Structure 1
Amino acid sequence: MVYCSALNCQNATSGVYKNSTVTFYGFPLHNKPLLKQWIHNMGREMGTPSKHQRLCSKHFEDSSFEIDPLKIRKNRRLLKEAVPKKFILVSCTSVLDGDPV
């Protein structure tokens, strides 16, 4: 099973969070400047991702994908220079003031 590595994203390839409308892409481990940009945009403190970690297609703009006019490929191909830009970086937390009830 593959999970998306982005914070606040629960997309996966199977199980409760299976989402058949998304595809998953590995980090550009061999392109250090691009990898740094990916990690920065994720807003997540992390070291170098493993070769097994993935981001789902929901974090990329449509322009990040190669256009296949004949729709021969089942999955969309991510452009080599693509950078993920769509993240939810704020989580909902409540702050309590005063004495607990």
Structure 2
Amino acid sequence: MVMCSAFNCNTRPGQGLAMFHYPKDPRLRKLWIEKLKRKNFSPSNHGKLCEKHFVETDFVVSREFAKSIGFDQKKLRLKDDAVPSIFALPEQQKKTPCH
């Protein structure tokens, strides 16, 4: 079973959250991978990210609106230009001072 490929995220299919394949567009796919900040990471053809890593405006229909009308959240759709932006950084990266 495929888990979310973001660091420290254990979301799996079947938990009621939407899971998204990496984009086929090479430019957008590269952006997604860069945002993960995982050294030497290359997602498999089955790699996915869960909805937790996207802001509300990344979705065609907001999560809250979808929930309010009884829409299955697992079927949420991302906008064509959506890029993940919400990640929990590893402790080591959090402690590294910026210069």
Map 1:1-101 to 2 at 5 A: 1-14=1-14, 19-20=15-16, 22-28=17-23, 30-67=24-61, 71=69, 74=72, 75-91=75-91
TM-score by length of 1: 0.72
Following the alignment from structure 1 to structure 2, what is the Cα–Cα distance between the partners of residues 78 and 46? 26
CA shift digits 1:43-66 (9 cap, x unpaired) = 112343222010000000011100
Identical-pair percentage:
34
TM-score by length of 2: 0.73
1:35 deviates by: 1.0
Q: CA 1:2/1:38 → structure 2, altered by over 3 Å: closer, same or farther? A: same
Following the alignment from structure 2 to structure 1, what is the Cα–Cα distance between the partners of residues 41 and 4? 16
Corresponding pairs, count? 86
Larger radius of gyration: 1
Unaligned runs of 5+ in 1: 93-101
Q: CA 1:80/1:72 → structure 2, altered by over 3 Å: closer, same or farther? A: farther
1:67 deviates by: 1.6
The CA RMSD measured in Å over matched residues stands at: 2.2
- Runs of 4+ more than 2 Å apart: 68-74
